Structure 1
Amino acid sequence: MGDIRDERGGPGRGNDNNRLYGFRRVSIMREEQADRSITTEPNYANQSDGWVLVSPRIMLGAVGAVACFAWLFVLIGTSSYMPFVNDLGASALFVHLTSVAGATCSLSITWLFSDFLSRHRILHFGVATVMTLFGSFGFAVPGLTLVWYSVLAAATGFGFGLVYVLYGEYIVLFFKGDIKPYVLGIITVAVLVCGLVLVIDPSIYHYSLIVLPLVTLVVYAVQMALFRLDKQSPIRAKTSDFRSQVNWHSYAATATAGLALGFALGCILSTQMTFSFTYLFIELGLLLMGTILFVDAIRGNKIGEPVTMRWFLPASAIIVFPMIFVPEEIQVVLAIFLLVVMMFPLSSSISAMCQHILLCRLSPIRSFGFGRMVCFLGILIGMAIGFAGFSDYMVEEFGQPITVMAVIVFMLLVIMSASFVMTEDNYPVQSRFKEVKAQTEDGEESILVVVAEAGVNVLPAAGNTNVPDEDPADRPRYFNKKCEAVAKKYDLSERQGEVLMMLAKGRNAEYITKKLIISSHTAKAHIYSIYQKTGVHSRQELMDLVEETEAEEE
């Protein structure tokens, strides 16, 4: 059984047939920058490590992402989209819960059926559009019953969840080199947009739930047409789960941060009208926190996900505890403070998840969908506890003890979760990865990428490492057949098939020129044609396409 060696020499070195067998390293292949000039979409996404400007078309996608996050803030954080809020009173709180429940449901569907949705993005987007438009425009119909308004809220939340995942995938695809600054910048601008919505004429507040979703949907439709997003090569759920290095502590921390956010929203929505100045103070506080995070991301990057989870989650219990003793006015102030503080862990968890998807080459739809589902589940539970403890109806019915009980339940959940997450770096960064050898079922060695943690064995027990079925054994014949299957599927010429095989092994244009004894211009022309026919935009994406393709059986 020969060793599979680490080819650190880069393109043109080592054994050609050993490059893609078993598990490829998860580390981002910087060498693909050399071929930027021959991608089908030049300057598709800048891969540098600094804060940079990218193409106008990608910035248009960023506008859509801003609208998506602003839509999120309006949907879960205000009642501005409910023109009937004054008529329904406490019943409007139930509508909030149904909208969050709808989003949680759709996010769970994207996780469970990620393989299907990754292959049918047009259907995915179509269902999101129908549900969103049904819910958003339905709110403009006056005189409906509470049941109908709840159905509309659930439909709107469901549509949002589907679109939210698509924009999460978009960020991972196009903002690779600067994910954290872009994510935090998008969130900060979205907070500003949401604040502007709240200062317009109150009589047209509810149109925000029409305008923001429309901008979100239209921009994504344009991006899908420009960049052929529906043709992106999917990463299978089994492969994605095997590659992922995120442990359950991460999801517990994300759920707890969502719980704290939901609790704060429950208190605020129960006691304050949408049209009060309270929401303007909230927006200013969120804008300040978002700006701090953004500046930190482009300068020192000191406020990472581990820092926010270790310090801000326990702090949430400290902030909430005085609510038991203080009057309602001070309770609202504490809830606002809690809401603003939760900007740190929630924003950091989104950027950390996007970075981990890119680093470990995970399925964006599956991984982002699950991470956000856990967060929304926490928001749903926290919001329900907040409504139960602070709504006028519950306080009148059960008195002050119901508020005390809600605060105690929240604190217990936060403390229990924080006791687990304070000792973990939940989203491993690239510096904590190392290469090891593991024994497969058939006795052959494969290179796996694992997290290097002192005293923690992140690999399964020896002899119990199961390689997913779609990752073939180390057989040159199987690799060649995968390349042939890709060439046949995309109608590549014989010469293009030869070039494809070399690209899939990590070779660059210079190597191909020497190997096939052709001019540099001809080699680049072949590579351009292959990229255009297959719909990929870099050598790494082409390697992924070959890896995920099933070889035809003889």
Structure 2
Amino acid sequence: MEKIIARLFSKETYSRERQIQKSSSLNPPIITGSDAIGIIGFSLYLSWVISVLLNPLLIRSEIDKDLASSVVFCFFLGGIIASCFTWIISGKLTSVPSVVAVIIFVIISAPIPVLVVINGFIEIPVLYFAWGIAGFSAVYLLSLWAIFLSKLTHKKAVLYPALSMFIQTVILFFIFFVFRSDALVVAMILIPLASTILFVYWAFKLNKLEDILLTYDSTRPQDGKSLLRSSVAMIANGILLGFPLYCLSISSSATFLLCALTAMIVATLYKIYDSTHYQRYEVNIIIKIIAPTAAIGFLSFPYFGIEWKIACCVFMFLVATINESICWSAVSEYMRVYRLVPFANIAFGRAGDILGLACGYACGKLLLGSTLMSESENTYILDLLVIALVVVQTFIFRDSYSPFAENKGTDLNHSETNCYSNPGVSHIGRWRIKCSEFARNYQLTSRQEEVLVLLAKGYSTSYIRDVLFVSDHTIKAHIYNIYRKVDVHSRQELIKLIEDYE
């Protein structure tokens, strides 16, 4: 199986001459069988969540649309509760037994909603509870795949989320256009189970899970402001995605669904092309061009016919899919740079994503009710939504997100600051010990070692300057000499070299 998947995803057929001709872009990525399993498993998770939000309850004719849409809010509530709970216990989720316990919980709880429906338990309290449990388990399934995302190098962190979202869209196409209604029920049960099983295969067969978990030494964000900005970014994008998802869930138009999936495919293909050529994080483009255009779509939504409403929603899917890919890349980069425990990082970031989805979903329900054809009376809902998006764009996204570039530093306590010059102290963490061993191997000076530890943790040059009480010129000189001695040209290459160092 591993060889087949690796062959399907591998780019080894590119000749060396072809790679040289494309020297202006990234070399064609080589995706191993291990990576391919991770991509497919993460894609299954994404497709499962979207399927839940599109109301699989509607396969039962006796369940009306209002009830079907209301249980989705229980899914959101379960996710919020799971995020808060996970944040509290994230320090205990750093061992193999704890991960095994999470896997068992996900396998048992994820299929509960569909099992409840097919067994005829359609009482409202039962449905609410089932969907709440599913939302709870979804956060833990995502946290498992966060372990995979946290190990991605910079190039892969840009490409793999886009590739996963492309496969997710293909899976959704098969779910809604190829499978029959009875097969849809089976698919909704098997998808989360298959995703979990693929994680088990990836973690225990293709990688050493214990070694991976040992690389994380923090349950609190080193750069809280950066993580907060990322979480708010996911709130904004969740709103942009939640609103058209609600519109799609109350529509019976196959054309609408097909157009939405087509928009998602176009967006993911664009991101795949972009990540294999430029590796850009187009936050500036989204702020200056696409997001304001989406805001115009929100404002004009109530005043036009059904065709225009569908067109607006399709465009929102296009925008949100591009931005969602960027958000997942940012999540991956943050965990890798700051060595934050994946469960802690996902608890914080996913809470923002769920909150945004819930807000967008609620706006759709308040504005439209149970049909796209209804007259929109509560137009002030969209006005407030646009104002919120503008505020977020103005005060949160003033700068482009660049994970490995100049991240803003945060305050460290004095005991942590002083330990940089003494790598033998037991509480400095495995990552810093590895940096110290790396520095000695490359014969770096003690001062260069101090700079290396802070540099590899993702802190900006200005922050390192303040911590070490030196000038900008001195810091730049130290960084230049570090790069020269270890023969790298960027922070990304330096971190990759440290990670691979034995």
Spell out the pairing of 1:274-289 with structure 2 (5 A cutoff). 276-289=254-267
SS at match of 1:401: coil
* Deviation readout 1:239-261 (Å, 9 max, x if unpaired): x4225561644332321111121
Name which structure has the greater RCO, CA cutoff 8 Å, separation 6+: 1
SS at match of 1:505: helix
Task: Output the amino acid matched with 1:92.
Answer: A
Deviates more, 1:140-149 or 1:343-352: 140-149
Whether 1:121 aligns to 2:99 is: yes
Whether 1:183 aligns to 2:161 is: yes
Q: Using the alignment, how far apart are the partners of 2:434 and 2:357 within structure 1?
A: 49
Spell out the pairing of 1:348-497 with structure 2 (5 A cutoff). 348-392=326-370, 400-402=376-378, 404-425=379-400, 427-432=401-406, 451=408, 465-467=412-414, 473=419, 479=424
| Fraction of identical pairs, as percent | 13
Aligned pair count reads: 420
Q: Using the alignment, how far apart are the partners of 2:442 and 2:326 within structure 1?
A: 41
Aligned match of 1:235: 216
User: What residue ranges of structure 2 are gaps of 5+ in the alignment?
Assistant: 1-25, 444-495
Whether 1:263 aligns to 2:235 is: no
- The equivalent position to 1:216 in structure 2, one of 195, 200, 203, is 195
Spell out the pairing of 1:18-97 with structure 2 (5 A cutoff). 50-76=27-53, 78-80=54-56, 82-84=58-60, 87-97=63-73
Larger helix percent: 2
Whether 1:338 aligns to 2:270 is: no
Aligned match of 2:130: 152
| Residues 353 and 471 (structure 1), Cα distance of their counterparts in 2 relative to 1, 3 Å cut | same
C-alpha deviation, 1:340, in angstroms = 2.3
Aligned match of 1:528: none
Deviates more, 1:151-160 or 1:363-372: 363-372
C-alpha deviation, 1:291, in angstroms = 0.4
| Residues 253 and 503 (structure 1), Cα distance of their counterparts in 2 relative to 1, 3 Å cut | closer
Q: Is the 8 A contact 2:46 2:165 kept in 1?
A: yes
* Deviation readout 1:77-134 (Å, 9 max, x if unpaired): x223653255323211101222222223323333332212223222222222222133
SS at match of 1:62: helix
| Residues 296 and 542 (structure 1), Cα distance of their counterparts in 2 relative to 1, 3 Å cut | closer
Aligned match of 1:505: 437
Aligned match of 1:103: 79
Spell out the pairing of 1:162-177 with structure 2 (5 A cutoff). 162-174=140-152, 177=155
* Deviation readout 1:428-469 (Å, 9 max, x if unpaired): 33232xxxxxxxxxxxxxxxxx54xxxxxx555xxxx524x6
Q: Is the 8 A contact 1:131 1:155 kept in 2?
A: yes
* Deviation readout 1:194-227 (Å, 9 max, x if unpaired): 1111112234322221121111011112223222
Q: Using the alignment, how far apart are the partners of 2:354 and 2:402 within structure 1?
A: 23
* Deviation readout 1:36-57 (Å, 9 max, x if unpaired): xxxxxxxxxxxxx744224323
C-alpha deviation, 1:370, in angstroms = 1.3
SS at match of 2:216: coil
Q: Is the 8 A contact 1:267 1:386 kept in 2?
A: yes
Task: Output the amino acid matched with 2:240.
Answer: A
SS at match of 1:431: coil
Larger Rg: 1
Q: Using the alignment, how far apart are the partners of 1:348 and 1:243 within structure 2?
A: 19
SS at match of 1:139: helix
C-alpha deviation, 1:504, in angstroms = 5.8
| Residues 150 and 82 (structure 1), Cα distance of their counterparts in 2 relative to 1, 3 Å cut | farther
Q: Is the 8 A contact 1:263 1:385 kept in 2?
A: yes
Spell out the pairing of 1:245-256 with structure 2 (5 A cutoff). 246=226, 248-256=228-236
- The equivalent position to 1:195 in structure 2, one of 166, 169, 173, is 173
Task: Output the amino acid matched with 1:321.
Answer: L
C-alpha deviation, 1:284, in angstroms = 1.0
Q: Is the 8 A contact 1:169 1:368 kept in 2?
A: no
Task: Output the amino acid matched with 2:191.
Answer: L
SS at match of 2:424: helix
